[in-house]
Amino acid sequence: MIPYGRQDITQADIDAVVSVLESDFLTQGPVVPRFEETVAAHVGAKHALAVNSATSALHIACIALGVGAGDLLWTSPITFVASANCGLYCGAEVDFVDIDSSTYNLCPKALEAKLLSAEKAGRLPKVVVAVHLCGQPCDMASIHALGQRFGFKIIEDASHAIGGKYRNEFIGNCRYSDITVLSFHPVKIITTAEGGMALTNNDALAARMALLRSHGITRDVSLMTHDSDGPWYYQQVDLGFNYRMTELQAALGVSQMQRLDTYVARRHELAKQYDTFLKDLPLVTPWQHPDSYSGLHLYVIRLQLEQVGKTHREIFEALRAQGIGVNLHYIPVHTQPYYEQMGFKKGDFPAAEQYYAEAISLPMYQTLPDAQQDEVVDALKKVLIG
């Protein structure tokens, strides 16, 4: 089976991890800060906090932004559940904004319309989570302008997007957001096995997230309520978690970062080839906004089912049967049973549901050989046009 995504582990990665195993620190040593500095410098953010997953990063980002009971968090229905769950962790309510039918990202026009009615109802969101689906950045300038006008904070969920750019600047520099979150799960662009990161240019947010990552405990006397009792002393000044990244993970991350640009370039090469090979088939290839240089975590096609005498599911299963590990990103979050019990139902976000009825993620990862990409294309041709 050709998978839809997979990690690339080199001898340099293995050596980096082994050298940590032979060192004094497996956790809370020098390599996590080195990884943070490496990513922050690459993307152009002031602060980077490495954590054990993007889910954890989203959680502490929400707390740092003051999300709590009675608040609202809005995001796109076409995302991984974690982009929405972070609001629920904080006791907030979650709602969704439908997608733009060409980028599949949260639609700024739908956002504006929803904000106007929310303003009338006195129920404006505290935070909007903008998800850069497939690695293509959202229309951040518009979302940011709406944030200024309606007073909400912005988290970019860039789990798909490290190495991508928006208006010629790296995603992660937080020019249009308060916090940007990255994921280093093995299917993503670079990996630390499990891992995530929160990026911000705001000193106070960075300090709060640093506390939340490790139990709310500090050894910094300036944050304590009284002078230190002695060299052993620490204080718990907030209610935090154990969301720390290990030194092993960070070493893998530093090593993977050396190849980020070549990874993204190879993904672009593959995407261009797919665009060419698939252009006469009854499907829509991913449209890219001119402001965008995608990280290209995913390559999603949309089937033009009225031109094919088969269902979405039949096509998906036929591809799997031919050894093509296609996938579907994502099931609209509002149709998950956990969200349906909050009152969401099918029909609430029609553009997202239409997308879900047609979308298929094709294999897309840096080490996918051209010959295997050809197999994917041949299988698609066979299934769609016989």
Q: Which residues are known to be catalytic?
A: 188
Shortest separation between residue 50's beta carbon and ligand PLP, angstroms? 12
Q: Which is nearer to ligand PLP, 81 or 237 (CB)?
A: 81
Residue ranges binding ligand PLP (CB under 6 A): 53-55, 79-80, 82-83, 131, 157, 159-160, 183, 185, 196
Spatial separation of the C-alpha atoms in residues 156 and 172, rounded to whole Å? 8
The one-letter code for the residue type at 41 is A
Element (H, E) at 39: helix 31-43
Name the nearest CA neighbour of 318 among 268, 377, 384: 384
Shortest separation between residue 9's beta carbon and ligand PLP, angstroms? 18
Shortest separation between residue 98's beta carbon and ligand PLP, angstroms? 17
Q: Is 94 exposed, middle or buried (0-12, 13-18, 19+ CB in 10 A)?
A: buried
Q: Which is nearer to ligand PLP, 252 or 384 (CB)?
A: 252
Q: Which is nearer to ligand PLP, 114 or 160 (CB)?
A: 160
Q: Which is nearer to ligand PLP, 333 or 379 (CB)?
A: 333
Name the nearest CA neighbour of 53 among 204, 235, 179, 183: 183
Contacts of 65 by beta carbon, 8 Å cutoff, 6+ apart: 126, 127, 153, 155, 178, 179, 205
The sign of the CA dihedral 147, 152, 155, 160 is negative
Shortest separation between residue 160's beta carbon and ligand PLP, angstroms? 6
Spatial separation of the C-alpha atoms in residues 327 and 359, rounded to whole Å? 9
Q: How is residue 336 written in tokens?
A: 């998950």
Shortest separation between residue 131's beta carbon and ligand PLP, angstroms? 5
Q: Which is nearer to ligand PLP, 79 or 246 (CB)?
A: 79
Spatial separation of the C-alpha atoms in residues 337 and 341, rounded to whole Å? 6
Spatial separation of the C-alpha atoms in residues 129 and 28, rounded to whole Å? 30
Shortest separation between residue 190's beta carbon and ligand PLP, angstroms? 12
Contacts of 364 by beta carbon, 8 Å cutoff, 6+ apart: 4, 5, 267, 270, 271, 296, 297, 298, 299
Q: In residues, how long is the chain?
A: 386
Q: Which is nearer to ligand PLP, 156 or 348 (CB)?
A: 156
